[in-house]
Amino acid sequence: MRYIEPHAHMVSRTTDDYRQMALSGCVAVSEPAFWAGFDRLSPDGFDAYFRQLTDFEPKRAAQYGIQHYTWLCLNPKEGEDRALGQKVLACIEKYLDRPNVVGIGEIGVNRVTQNELATFRDHVSFALERKQLILIHTPHLEDKYKGTRMIIDMLKNDPRVNPARVCIDHVEEHTVKLVLDGGFWAGMTLYPNSKCTPARAVDILDRFGSERLWMNSACDWGPSVPLNVPRTALEMRRRGWTAEAIDRVIFQNPVRFLSQCPKFKLPPA
Ligand SMILES: [Zn+2]
């Protein structure tokens, strides 16, 4: 089995996790910028974090034969402070041409406030003006449908947006159709307690097909399982999916999306 982990917050994981992922067939990870567990009040904290994502983390991953890609942004949880967002975007400018940066993300909304939406719009414009791929976080639980709806409406009203270059992550049963019908890519996050479990993710694949869908474990500071993509592949196999169909979801799909960024390249198998 070979797979890509397209959404993993590796800064919060140990090298043991990298080892387990490599042993399970992981060949590349893409790591979106996220929340540090506290709100960073100045752009300096982001500068240090972006250095970690573009310099240190790729070296750590390489020790296990895993290629490391990353996305940069101000996380939606901190998006209330629009002025900080502007300063962070100015800071991102100097990291954009680093070899492992594939786009802007994960941006989006958390509590779906006006300020968060404005910061989100600033990030989308920044990405479009610089021809970057976009990775979008959708809010949790009761805010998910409303937040996803607002994000999609906003993107559809911007004629510059090509939905094939945008992945909307953390979809669930009630939001996946909205995302796919809009021509966007959809990500399913496999969490032990919330979002999608592996069984629910395979149900969604059975219902909605596997075109323009990827799966990730998010693996962050909270309860999460870094091996949830291969574990879900096992569930697919148990339910009779062929090896080729599984490979399409866990390897070929993320490769197709990420390859739209010319920097994303895998070594020959
Ligand atoms: Zn995330």
Answer yes or no: is pLDDT of 195 > 80.
Answer: no
The reported pTM is 0.96
Query: What does the mean pLDDT of the chain come to?
Result: 95
Residues 256-260 have a mean pLDDT of 98
In the reported structure, the alpha carbon of residue 190 is separated from the centroid of ligand 1 by a whole-number distance in angstroms of 11
Q: What is the side-by-side strand order in the sheet with 26-32?
A: 3-5, 26-32, 67-72, 101-108, 133-137, 166-168, 185-189, 213-216
Q: Which residues contact 169 (CB under 8 A, 6 or more apart)?
A: 7, 106, 135, 136, 137, 138, 186, 187, 189, 216
Answer yes or no: is pLDDT of 109 > 80.
Answer: yes
In the reported structure, the alpha carbon of residue 33 is separated from the centroid of ligand 1 by a whole-number distance in angstroms of 7
Answer yes or no: is pLDDT of 46 > 90.
Answer: yes
Answer yes or no: is pLDDT of 240 > 80.
Answer: yes
Nearest to 103 by CA among 74, 126, 71: 71
In the reported structure, the alpha carbon of residue 229 is separated from the centroid of ligand 1 by a whole-number distance in angstroms of 15
More confident residue, 143 or 121: 121
User: Cβ distance 9 to 221 under 8 Å?
Assistant: yes
Q: What is the pLDDT of residue 59?
A: 98
What residues have their beta carbon closer than 5 A to ion ligand 1?
Answer: 34, 218
- Gyration radius of the chain over CA positions: 17
In the reported structure, the alpha carbon of residue 241 is separated from the centroid of ligand 1 by a whole-number distance in angstroms of 28
Q: What is the pLDDT of residue 121?
A: 96
In the reported structure, the alpha carbon of residue 161 is separated from the centroid of ligand 1 by a whole-number distance in angstroms of 22
User: Cβ distance 215 to 170 under 8 Å?
Assistant: no
Q: Which backbone phi and psi does 71 adopt, to 5 degrees?
A: -125, 145
In the reported structure, the alpha carbon of residue 265 is separated from the centroid of ligand 1 by a whole-number distance in angstroms of 22
Q: pLDDT, tens digit, for every residue of 146-174?
A: 999 999 999 999 999 999 999 999 999 99
Q: What is the pLDDT of residue 55?
A: 98
In the reported structure, the alpha carbon of residue 156 is separated from the centroid of ligand 1 by a whole-number distance in angstroms of 23
In the reported structure, the alpha carbon of residue 218 is separated from the centroid of ligand 1 by a whole-number distance in angstroms of 5
**Residue 7 corresponds to which tokens in the numbers above?**
């959404």
d(CA 181, CA 36): 33
In the reported structure, the alpha carbon of residue 170 is separated from the centroid of ligand 1 by a whole-number distance in angstroms of 9
In the reported structure, the alpha carbon of residue 105 is separated from the centroid of ligand 1 by a whole-number distance in angstroms of 9
Class of domain 3-258: alpha beta
In the reported structure, the alpha carbon of residue 136 is separated from the centroid of ligand 1 by a whole-number distance in angstroms of 9
Q: Which backbone phi and psi does 230 adopt, to 5 degrees?
A: -65, -30
**Residue 103 corresponds to which tokens in the numbers above?**
């786009």
More confident residue, 253 or 40: 253
Answer yes or no: is pLDDT of 242 > 80.
Answer: yes
In the reported structure, the alpha carbon of residue 8 is separated from the centroid of ligand 1 by a whole-number distance in angstroms of 7
**Residue 47 corresponds to which tokens in the numbers above?**
């500068």
Q: What is the pLDDT of residue 194?
A: 72
Q: What is the pLDDT of residue 120?
A: 96
In the reported structure, the alpha carbon of residue 107 is separated from the centroid of ligand 1 by a whole-number distance in angstroms of 9
In the reported structure, the alpha carbon of residue 220 is separated from the centroid of ligand 1 by a whole-number distance in angstroms of 7
Number of DSSP helices (H) and strands (E) in the chain, helices first: 11, 8
In the reported structure, the alpha carbon of residue 160 is separated from the centroid of ligand 1 by a whole-number distance in angstroms of 25
Q: Which backbone phi and psi does 104 adopt, to 5 degrees?
A: -105, 125
More confident residue, 268 or 27: 27
pLDDT-derived band at 196 (thresholds 50, 70, 90) equals: confident
Answer yes or no: is pLDDT of 193 > 80.
Answer: no
pLDDT-derived band at 260 (thresholds 50, 70, 90) equals: very high
In the reported structure, the alpha carbon of residue 262 is separated from the centroid of ligand 1 by a whole-number distance in angstroms of 23
pLDDT-derived band at 217 (thresholds 50, 70, 90) equals: very high
Nearest to 136 by CA among 105, 113, 111, 159: 105
Read out DSSP for 98-159? STTEEEEEEEE-SS--HHHHHHHHHHHHHHHHTT-EEEEE---GGGHHHHHHHHHHHHHT-T
Residues 133-138 have a mean pLDDT of 96
